[in-house]
Amino acid sequence: MSAALLINFAYVVASALFIFGLKLLGSPASARRGNFISAVGMLIAVVAALLDQGIVEYHWIAIGVVVGSIIGALSARMVAMTSMPEMVALFNGFGGLASLLVGWAVLYEGDLGLFTLITVALSILIGGVTFTGSVVAWGKLAEVMPSKALVFSGQQVVNGLLVLGIVASAVMFCLEPNDHTWLYVLIALSFLFGIMAVIPIGGADMPVVISLLNSYSGLAACAAGFAINNMILIVAGSLVGASGIILTQIMCRAMNRSLGNVLFSGFGSVSTASTAIEGEVRPIEAQDAYYVLEAASCVAVIPGYGMAVAQAQHAVKELQELLEENGCEVLYGIHPVAGRMPGHMNVLLAEADVSYDLLLEMDEINARMPTVDVAIVIGANDVVNPAAREMESSPIYGMPVINVDQARTVFVLKRSMASGFAGVDNPLFFKENTRMLFGDAKESINHVVREFE
């Protein structure tokens, strides 16, 4: 078997492992195995690509592998679960930056055809937008910059001029590839456009943005694959881009947004001003909550970002086990955009070894909600806000939510009466069947657990 044939065979094997691993990632029960299989496929792809390029001196590559592995391992071990969305955003950004640099490096190979120049321009453009857009998303999630939508008069005009400038500089770059002035202009405009595309998007919509930027990083890698004529990079980039778009559509549907709104940032500039909601708040102590739970036959737990902040997932699992020992059925209702990234709650509950069979999607839990004795809302706000159904003046009106207010009793675990990440008041807090259990969610649940014990 010739070397070229062996390399192509390795690419086919790696592509098959990517597809199979991606399929396994569709279920938490097989996700770990899917991640491992995909990693093996990437190892095969990297080795085959190095052999394909005929690289002899590997010392810089070895240094990069060692340094990158150390940084990646430390980041994965040290990052808090509450900061996982920020890390994912940065990973998307670095993927885009890598594609930009790959496209840039192709220019030093000498005379290039028009098709190659176009793919180089696309990898630079999409990679640059992904990088700075992801950095802005990280800033909003980490709250190092305002998480609200940042808009100003004439913003759409500025964005339109940026698009025209990008198109013009890309055309001039393809016509005059030896004049790197247009290359630098294209890089600068792509960086600027990435910033301008994300700043008008509010922090509450970051799950959509993260999945979209993930798709962008895949498209940038695909363009870079065409630029260097590497089949496996094209396949991998296409898979990431396609899966990211599919996930974006799921997120959009869960937030009642259209994909067009996401692409043009129209949904991020929606005003979050709403009519103030007044009513009587009914607080409850942990001991009284125990008496209600002790008599319950069905309990639904609705987790949100507050559970991640309090690191309460292990306490929730302990409470679940005590309730089940008491003959109670415990279910978990997972909203597609609960938390700050897609699958955030699934990751937290999996860490606490909560069975995936107990995790119900929004439609499934809503069908069961009228028969639920107690719905425990832990740090969730916008995804359980009945204003999405009842108040046409609400900025989130029409957004599909988990109908916890239809349960017989609702316990809302919060530190205060502050609104959620979207800044929208929640009439759930004033419903007659709602009781507010104020304090740190982990401490509150632990207190209830001690009552059971």
Which helix or strand (DSSP H or E) is residue 333 part of? strand 329-334
C-alpha to C-alpha distance for 99 and 217, rounded to whole angstroms? 8
Residue among 303, 375, 379 at smallest CA distance from 343: 303
Helix 114-142 to helix 155-175 angle (10° resolution) is 150
Residues facing residue 411 across a β-bridge: 376, 435
| String of DSSP letters for 104-157 | HHHGGGS---HHHHHHHHHHHHHHHHHHHHHHHHHHHHHTSS--S----TTHHH
229 Cβ contact list (under 8 Å, min separation 6): none
C-alpha to C-alpha distance for 452 and 322, rounded to whole angstroms? 7
Buried b (16+ CB within 10 A) or exposed e, 228-261: bebbbbbbbbbbbbebbbebbbbbbebbebeeeb
Tell me the longest C-alpha to C-alpha distance in the chain: 78
Structure tokens at 419: 């609104």
435 Cβ contact list (under 8 Å, min separation 6): 282, 283, 284, 289, 409, 410, 411, 412
Write phi, then psi, for 316 (nearest 5 degrees): -65, -40
- Residues catalogued as catalytic: 382
Are the C-beta atoms of 173 and 121 separated by less than 8 Å? yes
6 Cβ contact list (under 8 Å, min separation 6): none
Structure tokens at 320: 């679940």
Residue among 317, 290, 284 at smallest CA distance from 451: 290
Q: CA-based angle 251:335:252, to the nearest 5? A: 15
Residues facing residue 412 across a β-bridge: 377, 436
Write phi, then psi, for 378 (nearest 5 degrees): -110, 95
